[in-house]
Amino acid sequence: MEPAFQDQLKGNHCWGCSPTNDSGLNIKSFWSGDEAICSWSPGEQHSAATPLVLNGGIIGTIIDCHCICTAIADAYRREGRPIGTEPAIWYATGALNVSYQSPSPIAQPVTLRARITETTDKRTNLSCSLASAGKQRATAELVAVRVPQEWMAGR
């Protein structure tokens, strides 16, 4: 099995998806055909007002990170080179629209499924779903914008 997208990116310090951020969520995304899959298990610290359900902001964060990493992995794939090779490819969130259908139980893992819906040289559109306990809990549309390498240096 290929390493997770996130494990192949150099210099990623994101709270949601960096493998080196010890206090982060550390999500892991993988290709399954043309779809990117992520399975993640929340902890009690990720709860909403009730300790029984996953916080909506955490849902938005993992959808955002999964989709951005999928856009990056897709760009590398379209260029025919391994993820993380130079010159580096980075994307940032241009727009994120999350629709919540029902609460996601905190005691169950969540599964995210992202698909590329459109690409240009500078933008990738994605759709994503989040399911838990056998039920779809949220859907999202994300616009990922390709950013120059200087962006990673904070310039």
pLDDT by position in tens, the chain (length 155): 799 999 999 989 999 999 999 999 999 999 999 999 999 999 999 999 999 999 999 999 999 999 999 999 999 999 999 999 999 999 999 999 999 999 999 999 999 999 999 999 999 999 999 999 999 999 999 999 999 988 777 64
Q: Which CATH class is domain 5-153?
A: alpha beta
Longest CA–CA separation in the chain, Å: 46
Burial group, residue 23, by CB count within 10 angstroms (0-12, 13-18, 19+): exposed
pTM: 0.96
User: Which residues touch 72 (CB under 8 Å, ≥6 apart)?
Assistant: 5, 9, 83, 89, 90, 91
CB 97 within 8 A of CB 127: no
